């Protein structure tokens, strides 16, 4: 573009923008209009950050509150006058005093009224009839519409069916009325003739509970199955369907699904369809190019709606948590500039696509209008769109220019619409958002109309939010966890499939012992098999005898002499090399665990991540401990607290976390300067053998890491008893753990130590569901926590303690959700419930289910698909009405079995949850700040998770381990953990030699 053309364009953008501002000013709400009052209330709420947060959080939970007392209690908890500044009248109403019941009912009515008004501002109606009233009002004002049914993700097929049915109802009830409207060419026609009068916007995540990038084929099959009938219905009725774009994890799936369905014969020549592209994505332009190119292949026109994107906060926080580069631009002007580039591309392609532009930013809209004018496009060749309830003066301004404006109209019940409502409230009040700057803060029009790209150097023009890193400045740790694999990437999915093939190619290989650096084959072997298909032998592992155990301990004992004197830096360097190798071979290690231990893809990948983290974290910790010993010098005396390694550590590890726990305990012991003898669980011994090989390859000296697979009862017990083993690091069942503790406590002949026993055992973990919980999120989290990896994680949930008020609906929803949990061999990417580890475990869990069913109510028992034939599978099972005092309620299960218990009130829920010998993990779903606070104080577990699933802890951020009979109370992945592998020594040196004080600073003591 020449400079002259650019100059002319800039001038037109300014002119158009100023004109829009002027028109908008005329349409600003006046004090006699409801919109004005709503705006005043919004501004009042947003005056104070604490008040705003409390108010929005309260609104978010309001629809789940049953009565006035609950509303008043929550309002008081969120807006406690002690902490949140508020007007005196409100303060008096909410503060302590007489007539509480009456005040509660006043508060309840006021809060409900306020929230309804607020919701009514953004939500067009709760059913087709009320939506129709809004549509007709808008039509009278010169605007058309697209209808969106509120709701984001669904947890069950039944919920998805209801979502689809809502669209069907809209089509059936609105289309006949719309046909009878008298024509309005601006709204009803585009450059190609009449446009559908009814226009729908749908979210693909609402169409099936399985919409997961880990298995695109299955997702497309499932979602496509509900999408097609809906499209058919819409097409027959002459309605338009647009596919909305959600967060980036679904973007690839959404594009692929849209393209594949729209290439089918039935839909290929249908032009009344569209999809969204997002300019806040750093590769949004790539998506746009892809769609435009695909248009040629399809041969028929379709619409593209360009938006900036509604999930900026969630995307940046999610990326920071996952240690990934954010997929979105980090500076506001970058999103604005990207929108303009993409808009230009779209306007140049009006023959191929129908461009639509959704924005409330006057500069953005003015750019679109000026560019369209430069290209001599008629207003019928493109469309502008706004959201219902946002920037209403701007809507009037656009309509005033004689253009078609389509308003996005969400409709439906308030509860599923909460996510949407909160996003709108936040968007309206975002400091960087255009609406706030233009209409609340009344920033200068000239400034707001600046070219975003040109405004870039003076970033003061538009303030910029900073990327929130995982490690805030006040954090006590600078540790950065490794990132899990993103299975949204096709490349990563291919790598995993390739790695599974690779590991299959190694099936049947023999794995020797490693003692004193020497590989030793033995006569007796253990076949480690694939629990999903036990005829497949993953590896043949040599089994050690007790004599081998003696040799291994002797080798470790001998190696300890030199190893203990190596510097922390050298030990840390070796551990970091191990971490790097694991990272390099992460797919191979994960694939190994998928096949050897039946871990689903994400769990296996997470296991590798955790092992990597342990190696790096303990490397960092030992350097910290050694470089900064605690000193407290006294005059003439130097005092230092140092830590020394203990000696030989027996690492006795489980199969549930084959790499993370075995590798973690070993890494801690080695970092601290000990030598290790690793005796892994038989079912995870191939994974352990490969880990030990990595240690050998990176250069741990002979004897420092010894590999001793063997029978627990003989070799394991022998190690525990051995007089030269100073530390036993055990993770496993409580039965074995207690025996290990007892045996380790005895001092045997020749033993000069009290053994340090680090014993981590099981849990019988509960999640409490409060009566104000977000039930969809709670159901999803309980399903994940109970059934992922067939419930065989020590952190898995085996009990849901549900408050009476939501008990029945929770039971109903969890059954619906459990019906569609994918079951099968772990190597299938979608699998959630894989096999149990061995036949005996399978039989034990089946017996438990039999007994449980006799004592309580069987709510759900999944069906095993044909692929499970011959494997050690147990269907996911849910038992309701379990008596909290029955023996059944207290047993650790370690399988895909969930017991549901009813609690009359929150205190009883806490009591039931604590009514177990264990204290490992626990969860709470609640929106009551007071209940959350009580759970923090009284819920007796080592790891408490609030409003999220209870599996999947991260090293350093969530140190893991429990107390009571769950373990000896150490926290793996915590700054204290290494100290358990060391002896603390205080060294005091008299520095006063014959009265000579070496340090001049101390001469004043004379």
Ligand X SMILES: Cc1cc2nc3c(=O)[nH]c(=O)nc-3n(C[C@H](O)[C@H](O)[C@H](O)COP(=O)(O)OP(=O)(O)OC[C@H]3O[C@@H](n4cnc5c(N)ncnc54)[C@H](O)[C@@H]3O)c2cc1C
715's enclosing H/E stretch is: none
195's enclosing H/E stretch is: none
Token pair recorded at residue 775? 């039930």
| Least distance from ligand X to the Cβ atom of residue 239, Å | 17
Residue listed under structure tokens 């389509």: 406
Of 386 and 666, CB closest to ligand X:
386
Of 118 and 438, CB closest to ligand X:
438
Q: Does 446 qualify as catalytic in the annotation?
A: no
Of 434 and 873, CB closest to ligand X:
434
Token pair recorded at residue 580? 């790097």
| Least distance from ligand X to the Cβ atom of residue 481, Å | 25
Backbone angles phi, psi at 394, to 5 degrees: -65, -40
Asked if residues 161 and 222 have their Cβ atoms less than 8 Å apart, the reply is no
Coil, strand, or helix at residue 899?
strand
Of 386 and 492, CB closest to ligand X:
386
Of 219 and 278, CB closest to ligand X:
278
| Least distance from ligand X to the Cβ atom of residue 411, Å | 14
Q: CA 725, CA 549: separation in Å to the nearest integer?
A: 11
Coil, strand, or helix at residue 713?
helix
Of 451 and 603, CB closest to ligand X:
451
| Least distance from ligand X to the Cβ atom of residue 372, Å | 17
Of 309 and 973, CB closest to ligand X:
309
Question: Interface residues with ligand X (CB under 6 A)?
Answer: 244-245, 276, 278, 280, 307-312, 328-332, 334-336, 358-361, 364, 385-387, 408, 427, 432-434, 464-465
Q: CA 463, CA 447: separation in Å to the nearest integer?
A: 12
Backbone angles phi, psi at 888, to 5 degrees: -55, -40
Coil, strand, or helix at residue 144?
strand
As beta bridge partners, residue 989 has: 638
DSSP annotation of 537 = E
Of 446 and 999, CB closest to ligand X:
446
As beta bridge partners, residue 241 has: 200, 273
Of 104 and 336, CB closest to ligand X:
336
Residue listed under structure tokens 């503790």: 741
Burial of 358 (0-12, 13-18, 19+ CB in 10 A): buried
Strands of the sheet with 509-511, listed across from one edge: 509-511, 533-542, 525-530
| Least distance from ligand X to the Cβ atom of residue 423, Å | 8
| Least distance from ligand X to the Cβ atom of residue 465, Å | 4
DSSP annotation of 927 = -
Backbone angles phi, psi at 54, to 5 degrees: -60, -45
Token pair recorded at residue 359? 């924005």
Q: Establish how many alpha carbons lie within 13 A of residue 213's alpha carbon, considering only the half-sphere containing its beta carbon.
A: 20
Q: CA 211, CA 80: separation in Å to the nearest integer?
A: 40
Q: CA 725, CA 443: separation in Å to the nearest integer?
A: 72
As beta bridge partners, residue 861 has: 877
The CA-based angle 217-485-924, given to 5 degrees, is 90
Short-list 616, 720, 722, 627, CA closest to 670: 616
Q: Does 760 qualify as catalytic in the annotation?
A: yes
Q: CA 847, CA 789: separation in Å to the nearest integer?
A: 20
Q: CA 179, CA 12: separation in Å to the nearest integer?
A: 38
Q: CA 153, CA 729: separation in Å to the nearest integer?
A: 43
| Least distance from ligand X to the Cβ atom of residue 452, Å | 9
| Least distance from ligand X to the Cβ atom of residue 353, Å | 16
Letter string b/e over residues 123-148, b meaning 16 or more CB atoms within 10 A of that residue's CB: bbbbebeebbebbeebbeebbbbbbb
Catalytic residue among 61, 411, 597, 794: 794
Residue listed under structure tokens 């490397």: 619
Catalytic residue among 77, 383, 427, 760: 760
Residues 6+ apart with CB under 8 A from 627: 568
As beta bridge partners, residue 631 has: 640
DSSP annotation of 716 = I
148's enclosing H/E stretch is: strand 143-149
Asked if residues 870 and 765 have their Cβ atoms less than 8 Å apart, the reply is no
Active site residues: 760, 794
């Amino acid at each position: 573009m020449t400079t002259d053309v650019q100059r002319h364009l800039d001038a037109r953008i300014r002119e158009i923008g100023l004109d829009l501002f002027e028109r908008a000013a005329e349409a600003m709400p006046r004090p006699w209009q409801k919109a004005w009052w709503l705006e005043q209330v919004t501004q009042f709420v947003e005056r104070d950050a604490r008040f705003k947060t409390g108010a929005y959080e309260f609104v978010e939970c309001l629809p789940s509150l049953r009565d006035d007392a609950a509303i008043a209690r929550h309002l008081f908890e969120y807006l406690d006058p002690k902490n949140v500044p508020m007007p005196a009248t409100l303060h008096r109403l909410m503060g302590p005093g007489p007539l509480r019941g009456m005040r509660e009912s006043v508060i309840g009515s006021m809060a409900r009224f306020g929230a309804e008004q607020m919701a009514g501002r953004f939500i067009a109606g709760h059913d087709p009839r009320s939506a129709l009233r809004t549509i007709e009002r808008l039509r009278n004002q010169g605007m058309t519409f697209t209808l969106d049914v509120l709701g984001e993700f669904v947890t069950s097929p039944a919920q998805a069916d209801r979502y689809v049915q809502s669209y069907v109802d809209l089509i059936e009830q609105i289309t006949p009325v719309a046909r009878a409207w008298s024509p309005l060419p601006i709204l009803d026609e585009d450059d190609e003739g009449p446009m559908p009068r009814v226009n729908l916007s749908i979210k693909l995540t609402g169409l099936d509970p399985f919409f997961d990038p880990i298995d695109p084929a299955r997702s497309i099959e499932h979602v496509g199955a509900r999408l097609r009938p809906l499209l058919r219905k819409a097409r027959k009725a002459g309605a338009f369907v647009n596919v909305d774009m959600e967060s980036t994890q679904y973007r690839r799936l959404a594009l692929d699904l849209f393209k594949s369905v729209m290439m089918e014969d039935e839909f290929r020549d249908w032009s009344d369809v569209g999809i969204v592209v997002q300019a806040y994505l750093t590769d949004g332009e790539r998506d746009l190019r892809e769609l435009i190119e695909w248009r040629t292949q399809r041969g028929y026109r379709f619409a593209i709606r360009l938006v900036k994107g509604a999930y900026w906060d969630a995307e940046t926080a999610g990326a920071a948590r996952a240690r990934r580069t954010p997929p979105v631009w980090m500076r506001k002007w970058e999103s604005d500039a990207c929108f303009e580039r993409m808009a230009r591309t779209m306007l140049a392609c009006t023959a191929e696509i129908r461009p639509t532009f959704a924005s409330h930013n006057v500069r953005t809209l003015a750019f679109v209008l000026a560019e369209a004018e430069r290209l001599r496009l008629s207003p019928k060749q493109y469309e502008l769109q706004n959201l219902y309830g946002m920037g209403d003066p701007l809507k009037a301004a656009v309509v005033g220019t004689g253009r078609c404006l389509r308003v996005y109209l969400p409709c439906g019940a308030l509860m599923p619409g909460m996510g949407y409502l909160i996003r709108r409230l936040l968007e309206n009040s975002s400091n960087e958002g255009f609406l706030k700057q233009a209409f609340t803060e009344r920033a200068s029009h000239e400034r707001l109309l600046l070219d975003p790209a040109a405004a870039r150097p003076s970033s003061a023009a538009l303030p910029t939010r900073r990327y929130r890193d995982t490690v805030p400045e006040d954090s006590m740790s600078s540790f950065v966890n490794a990132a899990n694999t993103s299975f949204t990437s096709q490349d990563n999915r291919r790598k995993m499939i390739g790695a599974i093939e690779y590991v299959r190619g190694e099936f049947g290989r023999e794995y020797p012992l490693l003692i004193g650096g020497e590989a030793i084959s033995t006569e007796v072997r253990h076949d480690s098999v694939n629990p999903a298909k036990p005829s497949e032998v993953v590896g043949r592992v040599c089994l050690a005898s007790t004599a081998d155990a003696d040799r291994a301990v002797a080798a470790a004992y001998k190696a300890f002499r030199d190893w203990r004197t190596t510097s922390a830096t050298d030990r840390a360097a070796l551990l970091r090399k191990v971490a790097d190798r694991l990272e390099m071979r992460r797919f191979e290690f994960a694939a190994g665990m998928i096949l050897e231990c039946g871990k689903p893809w994400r769990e296996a990948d997470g296991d590798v991540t955790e092992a990597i983290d342990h190696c790096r974290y303990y490397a960092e910790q030992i350097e910290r401990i050694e470089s900064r010993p605690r000193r407290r010098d006294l005059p003439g005396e130097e005092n230092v607290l140092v830590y020394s390694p203990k000696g030989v550590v027996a690492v006795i590890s489980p199969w549930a976390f084959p790499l993370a726990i075995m590798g973690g305990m070993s890494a801690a012991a080695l970092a601290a300067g000990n030598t290790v003898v690793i005796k892994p669980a038989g079912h995870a011994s191939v994974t352990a053998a490969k880990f030990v090989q990595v240690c050998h390859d990176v250069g741990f000296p002979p004897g420092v890491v010894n590999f001793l697979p063997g029978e627990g009862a003989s070799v394991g017990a022998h190690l525990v008893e051995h007089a030269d083993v100073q530390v036993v690091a055990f993770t496993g069942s409580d039965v074995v753990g207690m025996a290990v503790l007892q045996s380790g406590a005895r001092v045997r002949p020749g033993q000069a130590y009290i053994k340090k026993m680090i014993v981590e055992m099981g849990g019988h973990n509960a999640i409490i569901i409060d009566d104000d919980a977000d039930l969809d999120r709670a159901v999803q989290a309980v399903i994940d926590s109970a059934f992922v990896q067939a419930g065989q994680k020590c952190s898995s949930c085996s009990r849901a303690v549900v408050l009476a008020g939501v008990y029945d609906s929770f039971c109903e929803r969890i059954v619906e959700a459990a019906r569609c949990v994918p079951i099968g061999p772990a190597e299938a990417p979608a699998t959630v419930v894989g096999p149990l580890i061995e036949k005996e475990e399978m039989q034990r869990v089946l017996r438990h289910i039999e007994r449980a069913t006799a004592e309580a109510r069987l709510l759900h028992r999944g069906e095993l698909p044909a692929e499970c034939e011959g494997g050690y599978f147990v269907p996911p099972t849910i038992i309701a009405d379990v008596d909290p005092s029955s023996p059944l309620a207290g047993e650790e299960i370690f399988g895909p079995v969930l017991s549901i218990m009813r609690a009359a009130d929150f205190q009883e829920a806490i009591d039931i949850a604590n009514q177990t010998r264990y204290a490992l993990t626990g969860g709470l779903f609640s929106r009551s700040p007071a209940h959350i606070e009580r759970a923090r104080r009284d819920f007796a577990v080592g790891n408490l998770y609030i409003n999220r699933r209870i599996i999947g802890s991260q090293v350093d951020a969530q140190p893991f381990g429990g107390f009571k009979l769950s373990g000896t109370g150490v926290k793996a992945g915590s700054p204290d953990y290494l100290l358990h592998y060391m002896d603390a020594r205080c060294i005091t040196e008299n520095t006063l030699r014959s009265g000579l004080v070496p340090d001049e600073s101390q001469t004043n003591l004379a």
